[in-house]
Amino acid sequence: MANNLKSRMHNGEQLLGFWLELFSPMAAEVMAEAGYNCAMLDMEHGPGGFLDCISVMQAMKGTDCVPLVRVPWNDHVAIKRSLDAGARGIMVPSVDSAEQAHQAVAACRYAPGGRRGNAASIIRASGYGVNAAEYLNTIQDELLVICQIETRKAVESAAAIADVEGVDMLFVGPSDLSTEMGLIGQVDHPQVHEAIAKVEAAAKSAGKLIGHIPTPKRPVKLLVESGASLILTDADVALLRNGARNSIEAFRSLTGTK
């Protein structure tokens, strides 16, 4: 499952992904076949574990949808196991400092540049060892390392985080950022927008990619115009919920039932 997301974005392409929360292989297969560029398997807020990640990656195999994993925390064991399972990119939540960014990068890289354990002879990511040599030769360059900016401290440290070698993208988490700023639920508050602008400037200055989640006042169109490299605009659970609610509301408006 070749990954060219990083090179495509650095070449100026803007890509679209979705959040995978249900960890249903069939739902993942449907979404991947629909044509998204990537899927973010959400182990931070979703209920899935490592075997669930493998199941949905298997369901997406053969499509052009690249599997990325948001790990539960900046933990080298979780990162290592996600990579061994076949993730072609890692999103680390709530990275607040350059030191934490260094830790995330080290967990993603083999020595001498990192501390990832090498089991390429048996892991799923290398075809259970069939493609071990190719995997070892390419994964360091192809892997997408994403640091989420979700606190005031992270905004203040955004330039330092972006300057860390091996960090490929800063990704803004507007919900957590607004909450930590004391503006819970106000993802489009002017102060939040101001903080996001600082993160965008830091990424641009360092030559790094920037990723976003749309909000009501920062919809996909605006994010595209602002130069976002990756937009995670949908979630499997939200599409299912919204589709069901729209159908129910349409029926009830026709019949007057509740």
Catalytic (active site) residue 45: yes
Name 89's bridge partners: 144
Taking each helix axis as running N to C, give the angle between helix 50-60 and helix 25-34, from 0 to 180 degrees, rounded to the nearest 10: 40
Q: d(Cα 28, Cα 59) in Å, to the nearest integer?
A: 7
Phi/psi of residue 79, nearest 5 degrees:
-65, -45
Q: Are strands 89-92 and 66-70 parallel, antiparallel or unpaired?
A: parallel
Active-site hit among 45, 102, 193, 212: 45
- Which residues are the active-site residues? 45
